[in-house]
Chains A and B, each alone.
Chain A
Amino acid sequence: MTGAAKADCVCVIDDDEEVRGSVGSLLRAEGYDVRLYEAPSGFLEAGACDVPSCLVLDIRLSGESGLDFQEILASHGLSTPVILITGHGDIPMTVRGMRAGAIDFLPKPFEDDQLLAAVGRALEVDRAQRTAAQGIASLRAIFERLTPREKDVFGLVVTGLMNKQVAAHLGLSEITVKIHRGNVMKKMEAQSLADLVRMAELLGVRDVTIHRYGT
């Protein structure tokens, strides 16, 4: 790994200056953009990176437990993947950490390869998350360009209603519904109804009040 071209960002939070520094040096040697923080507050203040990033977190930070912080991150909607490091590794903590979605759990002192592998995996996860997020974002942009009526038809079609039922529901003729449906398929670049259903799930636009077999 030369890594010189990488601009991926790794944030390290550890209250021990020397441990923090050593992890920083190791990651910099691998060409990562490294940001060191003594406490979680510093990380939260700095805000998320705009490139694929991950977080190396000491589980026993002075003042607050790293595990608590991991939950705070999740509750803030921050999806940065977390690698836990600790000098006090034990099973309950590991379980809790992994449940809260940690990528890996490394007891100190850890192997450099282990840490770098975990960082690599974490960054892949973040990259995938970012790609997915980007896909949804562009899908939403297209969706926002639909007419209000097309959005209505979209929401009802993906529930599995037949054109006739949709028409009855919206007080339109079946022909008009067909035309709107065709426009929606075209604009959303959906290859099939199944494709459209998948998009509706990602966008969360299915009209949940409708039941095909309901009244």
Chain B
Amino acid sequence: MGIGAGPDDWRIAMRLGMAMLLALGIFALDVLSPLQGAVAVLYVVVILLVAREQRRSLVVFFAVLCATMAMAGYLVSHGLDAIGSPTMRLGVSLVAIAITAALSARQITAAEARHHSDERYRLIFDASGFPIWESDWSPAYKLLRAGETPTLELVQRAGSAAIIRNANQEVARLFGYADRSELVGANIIEHHTISAEAAQARIFERLLRGDVPIEEEMQFRTTSGELIDVVLRVTLPQDHNGWSRVLVTALDVTQRNRDQARLAESQAELTHMSRVTTLGQLAASIAHEVNQPLSAIITYAKSGQRWLKREAQDAPETADCLDHIVINGKRAADVIARIRDLARNGDPRREAVRMAPLIEETAELLQRDMIASGVRINVALATDMPSVLGDHVQLQQVLLNLMMNAQQAMASTPTPDRELRIDGGVRDGVLVVEVSDCGAGFGDTEPEDFFRPFFTTKRDGMGMGLSICRSIIEQHGGKLTASGNEKGGASFTFRLPITEDEGRIAA
């Protein structure tokens, strides 16, 4: 129908000419023949012929032409005589012409509307900017329909039987083809990775259940061998006729996944750095923690030697010395294991963490430092402190940070009032731990500001501690908030979901 389509135009012109000739023929028959019938009704054929061109204007034009010719024929044959049966026949012919023209015009309008909608669909399909393809999965349907749970082998066979009917250029770009035509008639099974096979099985399973639309993230291999992460959305149109038309859209999430991984990586790195910094601040305490058992070991060893060198050797005393050497060796090793855990730079673990021992162990680690700065630690934990799911090193990092902040907040508080409280328990089905100090509180600053990165009130602070604490707690599905307390100090509260298999862990 394009303007430049010469042969088409010719064909149309020929057909219109034929219609015109037919109309003239009918006219001649009407005027010249002695037939006493409604010959003019035959104009209907002309209109039907023209209607095939699917142009409303042509139909209207020929309808008017035919009506005029019918009337002209009547005038020529019968003149303006009295109204009789010929007039009736003319009326019938005109009505037939009008009805045919009207019906044809309506049909053309409907066809135009359908055509427009097809055009729109194609436009969306081609220009949407993300990959869409339409596949025929009917062979897969026939294979799977009978079976119960599709086996992997069956899924593979079903997958390779699917045929792409149509695909837009984005699909070609996604899989690394030069043009979309290369995809039509093919299938994408050769781009599948192992994870994609499993996803494919899930898609089939859900399609069989009629559970559409389906979204599955899967990994493909492009023609250049690169791995891409794609979220596939599979839809069945209403008239899919046994999966013969399956519409698949794809969202390339490779970059998003990469960014996320990189973000997680740098977050973990930052968390680790902050932990190491905290360890640095605790260096004196840690050195002491290790030095004490080492000192005891050396002294017990020397003492044991002396007990043996005495004139009356004392075996029980020597044995006692050896026992204590073992005890202190283990003690030193325990301290080092704890520190090494804190310094560990690994992926966060997800395991059941028992909070009560963790809080107590952390308080113990800080005990020396707290005493040196005149702070009393008061730990009040509910007897039924639950476990949470997460990384115990990261959770300990949060506790360390909050407790050290509390300690520093009380630097200018009169010594007898320096009390650090840790309350723990279950409220509304979640674990709640509150670390409170008796310092100067938040002053004019909004408590929320303290969680902003690089916000600090300390002279040598980096301002990352609380921000990292909050992200750790959030990664554990919890919340960390700050508020003033009745003693004028600050309270930091974190809430964490309790592990489901709590009963088993407690037992």
Binary contact readout B318-335 vs A (1 if CB under 8 angstroms, 0 otherwise)? 001100100110010000
- A62, B375: Cα distance in complex, Å: 11
B284 close to A (CB within 8 Å): yes
Which of A25-33, A95-103, A128-136, A207-215 faces chain B? A25-33
**CB-contact partner of B291 in A28, A62, A108, A112, under 8 A:** A108
Would you mind naming 19 contact pairs between A and B with Cβ atoms under 8 Å apart? A4-B311, A16-B296, A18-B293, A18-B296, A19-B295, A19-B299, A21-B300, A22-B300, A25-B304, A25-B307, A25-B324, A29-B314, A29-B317, A60-B288, A63-B371, A87-B291, A87-B295, A110-B299, A112-B303
A88 close to B (CB within 8 Å): yes
Chain B: minimal CB distance from A22 (Å): 4
B302 close to A (CB within 8 Å): yes
Binary contact readout B278-317 vs A (1 if CB under 8 angstroms, 0 otherwise)? 0000001001100111111111101110110011001001
B372 close to A (CB within 8 Å): yes
Instruction: Spell out A's residues near B (CB within 8 Å).
Output: 2, 4, 16, 18-19, 21-23, 25-26, 28-30, 60, 62-63, 87-88, 108-112
The reply to whether A25 and B295 contact each other, CB–CB distance below 8 Å, is no
For residue B284, which residues in chain A have a CB less than 8 angstroms away from its CB?
Answer: 88
The reply to whether A2 and B310 contact each other, CB–CB distance below 8 Å, is yes
For residue B331, which residues in chain A have a CB less than 8 angstroms away from its CB?
Answer: 18
Given the known interface contacts A26-B302, A112-B303, the answer about A60 and B372 at a Cβ–Cβ threshold of 8 Å is yes
Query: Of residues 358 to 411 in B, which have CB atoms within 8 Å of A's CB atoms?
Result: 367-368, 371-372
Instruction: Point out which of A2, A18, A111, A112 has the most chain B C-beta atoms below 10 A from its C-beta.
Output: A18
Chain A: minimal CB distance from B61 (Å): 109
For residue A26, which residues in chain B have a CB less than 8 angstroms away from its CB?
Answer: 299-300, 302-303, 306
The reply to whether B310 and A29 contact each other, CB–CB distance below 8 Å, is yes
Query: Of residues 255 to 274 in B, which have CB atoms within 8 Å of A's CB atoms?
Result: none
- A26, B428: Cα distance in complex, Å: 56
- A112, B304: Cα distance in complex, Å: 11
Size band of the B side of the interface? Answer: 20 to 34
Chain B: minimal CB distance from A25 (Å): 4
- A29, B292: Cα distance in complex, Å: 21
Residue in chain B with minimal CB distance to A112: B302
- Since A60-B371, A63-B371 are in contact, a sample of 10 more A-B pairs with Cβ atoms closer than 8 Å, ordered by chain A residue number, is A22-B295, A26-B302, A28-B317, A29-B306, A29-B307, A29-B317, A87-B287, A87-B291, A108-B292, A112-B306
For residue A21, which residues in chain B have a CB less than 8 angstroms away from its CB?
Answer: 296, 300, 324
Residue in chain A with minimal CB distance to B328: A18
Residue in chain A with minimal CB distance to B284: A88
- A18, B298: Cα distance in complex, Å: 11
The reply to whether A25 and B292 contact each other, CB–CB distance below 8 Å, is no
The reply to whether B303 and A29 contact each other, CB–CB distance below 8 Å, is yes
- A62, B285: Cα distance in complex, Å: 13
- A19, B298: Cα distance in complex, Å: 10
Instruction: Point out which of A4, A16, A21, A110 has the most chain B C-beta atoms below 10 A from its C-beta.
Output: A21
Residue in chain B with minimal CB distance to A61: B371
**CB-contact partner of B371 in A16, A62, A108, A112, under 8 A:** A62
Residue in chain A with minimal CB distance to B294: A109
Given the known interface contacts A2-B310, A19-B292, A88-B284, the answer about A25 and B371 at a Cβ–Cβ threshold of 8 Å is no
Chain A: minimal CB distance from B314 (Å): 8
The reply to whether A110 and B295 contact each other, CB–CB distance below 8 Å, is yes
Residue in chain A with minimal CB distance to B290: A87
Residue in chain B with minimal CB distance to A2: B311
Chain B: minimal CB distance from A66 (Å): 12
Chain B: minimal CB distance from A56 (Å): 11
For residue A109, which residues in chain B have a CB less than 8 angstroms away from its CB?
Answer: 291, 294-295, 297-299
Query: Of residues 451 to 486 in B, which have CB atoms within 8 Å of A's CB atoms?
Result: none
For residue A88, which residues in chain B have a CB less than 8 angstroms away from its CB?
Answer: 284, 288
- A25, B307: Cα distance in complex, Å: 9
The reply to whether B295 and A108 contact each other, CB–CB distance below 8 Å, is yes
The reply to whether B299 and A112 contact each other, CB–CB distance below 8 Å, is yes
The reply to whether B299 and A22 contact each other, CB–CB distance below 8 Å, is yes
Given the known interface contacts A26-B306, A112-B306, the answer about A87 and B300 at a Cβ–Cβ threshold of 8 Å is no
Chain B: minimal CB distance from A44 (Å): 20
- A22, B317: Cα distance in complex, Å: 11
Query: Of residues 128 to 171 in B, which have CB atoms within 8 Å of A's CB atoms?
Result: none
- A87, B296: Cα distance in complex, Å: 11
Residue in chain A with minimal CB distance to B302: A112
Residue in chain B with minimal CB distance to A25: B303
- A19, B118: Cα distance in complex, Å: 89
The reply to whether A25 and B299 contact each other, CB–CB distance below 8 Å, is yes
- A132, B53: Cα distance in complex, Å: 138
For residue B294, which residues in chain A have a CB less than 8 angstroms away from its CB?
Answer: 109
Instruction: Point out which of B284, B298, B307 has the most chain A C-beta atoms below 10 A from its C-beta.
Output: B298
For residue A63, which residues in chain B have a CB less than 8 angstroms away from its CB?
Answer: 371
Chain B: minimal CB distance from A131 (Å): 29
- A22, B300: Cα distance in complex, Å: 5
- A21, B293: Cα distance in complex, Å: 11
For residue A18, which residues in chain B have a CB less than 8 angstroms away from its CB?
Answer: 292-293, 296, 324, 327-328, 331
Chain A: minimal CB distance from B333 (Å): 14
